[in-house]
């Protein structure tokens, strides 16, 4: 959110959905995951539920929503390969997620056996997020 009272500040808050800040000496970024800014920085601050951040030209500050107290949040260095999060030729990450779902689910179900019982059986996917709705919609229009 940008307020007309403070137009040079960006306010963002986290409640349940992920919210991550990307940090550089020159700029700050906000996204739901590091892919949003991985091309620009590998330093990230993950907000917890009930926290908000204020980004300005001089940096960022994280505070608690309930008490307004400043939180001591240190940037974490992202050390995994950004290439593994690439779009792999798809136009959008959501399209990649939708079309990779069968393989992802197959790999998730390949869990180790313990004696004659599977660790997670029976298996009922109860929520697959936005990509699930994209698959449903694409099936309707075929």
Q: What is the pLDDT of residues 22-70, one digit of tens each?
A: 999 888 889 888 877 888 888 999 999 999 999 988 889 999 999 999 9
Range of the domain at 22: 10-80
Closest CA relative to residue 11, chosen from 25, 40, 49, 19? 19
Residues 29 and 68 in one domain: yes
Residues 25 and 56 in one domain: yes
Q: What confidence tens digit (pLDDT) does each residue in 9-23 have?
A: 999 999 888 889 999
* Two tokens, residue 63: 């505070």
Tell if the pTM clears 0.85, that is, is over it.
Answer: no
CA distances to 4, 31, 66, 108 from 13, rounded to whole Å, are: 18, 11, 12, 32
Our count of domains for the chain comes to 2
Question: Would residue 28 be called left, alpha or beta, if left means φ above 0 and alpha means ψ between -120 and 50 degrees?
Answer: beta
Specify if 85 maps to a domain.
no
């Amino acid at each position: 959110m940008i307020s007309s009272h403070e137009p040079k500040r960006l306010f963002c808050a986290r409640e349940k959905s992920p919210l991550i800040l990307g940090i550089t000496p020159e700029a700050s970024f906000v996204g739901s995951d590091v892919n949003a800014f991985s091309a620009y920085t590998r330093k990230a601050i993950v907000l917890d539920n009930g926290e908000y951040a204020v980004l300005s030209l001089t940096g960022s500050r994280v505070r608690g929503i309930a008490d307004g107290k400043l939180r001591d949040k240190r940037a974490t260095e992202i050390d995994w390969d950004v290439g593994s999060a690439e779009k792999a030729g798809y136009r959008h990450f959501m399209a990649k997620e939708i079309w990779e779902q069968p393989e992802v689910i197959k790999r998730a179900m390949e869990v180790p056996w313990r004696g004659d019982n599977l660790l997670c059986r029976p298996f009922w996917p109860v929520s697959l997020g936005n990509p699930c709705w994209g698959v449903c919609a694409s099936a309707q229009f075929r």
